[in-house]
Structure 1
Amino acid sequence: MELWQVPLVFSHLPMFPFFDLAHYVASVMALKEQQGAVEVSVRSPVACWFSAMLHCFGGSVLSSLMLAEPPVAFLANGTNILLASSVWYLVFYCPQDRFCQCFAFLPLRLLVAGIAQDVIHSI
């Protein structure tokens, strides 16, 4: 496969779970890099989880508010909540921070950021 064919391969991938997973990883990793986020995860895991869900589904909450729909409508899709919660758990509570170390590798981080950016533009 040549380099110019890589975007074509990604365009044929299904949106779920690859692109959603990349979006959740990028969102929760950005949350963990904020000052004090790790301390909050130790003191109050529920608050940390809720903050992670707002990072992952913030666009859905805002669009629901602007369209006069319930802002918690994103909770109806249990599969996406379970996937985002799994990513949150791995980012904050994986032993020896292995998950974060894996995605701190620059080429993988750039790939995840690029895929997550594609998700944001497709919404």
Structure 2
Amino acid sequence: MEEVADFFYDLPKDYGLAFDTVHYIVSLQGERADLGDDFDSVTKLNPLASWVSSMMVCFAGGILTAPLCGEPMLSALVDDPMRLLIATALWYMMFYFPKDMIYKASKQAKIPLYAIKGLYYPKKILSGIKHAKHIFKQNPLAAVVIATVKGNGSGLIKPFARLARGKWSPDVFESIKPSLTTKYCFLCALIYVYFPWDSTYVLIVGILIAMKVGPLFNVSMDPFTITEHKLAPFVFGDKGKQE
């Protein structure tokens, strides 16, 4: 088990640039999907807003965790110009390449891209836990929060990314409707904070890859909704009876 864990620990570190590149591609796919019918108008009339929004999504984990840890918010963007340049190049190719060839090609490679993205989540969660422990010492709550934000920063930053494009959508705040990815990142961070074992990390890797790849094969990866619907009336009361 230790060898397997070491493999999963080291892979995203040894090939960090490749993993970051995949992360940017998947994030930009999500950004295009979020634009929807506004894609042409935003990218053609407001390219700067499109770029700012896209960079916010690509570097969301660092942008959001920095102020939580008392660090400069823009350090995630300016500390590594090479990654910013790569993300910008990918943004241009996926948004402006003739006939959408690059974007369409990336959509055809969803399975390997999503599998690598699934491997990327544990690395980000572990990075968030280590960072939080360095700043907040022995504070498990801070470690779970920072790791969750680091893991799914692109989902958490979505309302602010939309605002950068001139669209305010407070209904998409994760505090109102947490995404499946945020729930998984929170659960995995919670498990690893209290059980920081090699076997735990391997388990988390398997869970997060399944979460990302499973839906591509029409496999439901949402065990939370049923549980929430069962527990919510007992914990918070039956809204229907009160009305």
- TM-score, normalised to structure 2, is 0.44
- Structure 1 residues 73 and 13, CA, compared in 2 at 3 Å: closer, same or farther? closer
- Structure 1 residues 67 and 94, CA, compared in 2 at 3 Å: closer, same or farther? same
Q: Which residue of 1 aligns with 2:96?
A: 93
1:77 aligns with 2:83: no
1:120 aligns with 2:121: yes
Aligned residues: 114
Q: Which residue of 1 aligns with 2:19?
A: 19
Q: Which residue of 1 aligns with 2:46?
A: 44
Q: Distance in 1 between matches of 2:41 and 2:14?
A: 36
Letter in 1 for 2:107: A
Q: Secondary structure at the match of 1:70?
A: coil
Q: CA deviation at 1:116?
A: 1.7
Higher relative contact order (CA 8 A, sep 6+): 1
1:104 to 99, 102, 107: 107
Q: Distance in 2 between matches of 1:88 and 1:29?
A: 10
- Structure 1 residues 93 and 48, CA, compared in 2 at 3 Å: closer, same or farther? same
Post-superposition Cα deviations, 1:15-64, rounded to whole Å, max 9, x if no partner, equal 23211110000000110111223421111111101101111111101110
User: In 2, are the aligned partners of 1:62 and 1:71 still within 8 Å (CA)?
Assistant: yes
Q: Which residue of 2 aligns with 1:3?
A: none
Unaligned runs of 5+ in 1: 1-7
Post-superposition Cα deviations, 1:68-110, rounded to whole Å, max 9, x if no partner, equal 11100012210110010011011101111000111121xx111
User: In 2, are the aligned partners of 1:19 and 1:116 still within 8 Å (CA)?
Assistant: yes
Q: Distance in 2 between matches of 1:86 and 1:63?
A: 25
- TM-score, normalised to structure 1, is 0.83
Q: Distance in 2 between matches of 1:12 and 1:60?
A: 17
Percent identity for Structure 1 against Structure 2: 23
Letter in 2 for 1:30: G
Q: What CA RMSD, in Å, does the superposition of the two structures yield over aligned residues?
A: 2.1
**Bigger radius of gyration:** 2
Q: Which residue of 1 aligns with 2:150?
A: none
1:67 aligns with 2:69: yes
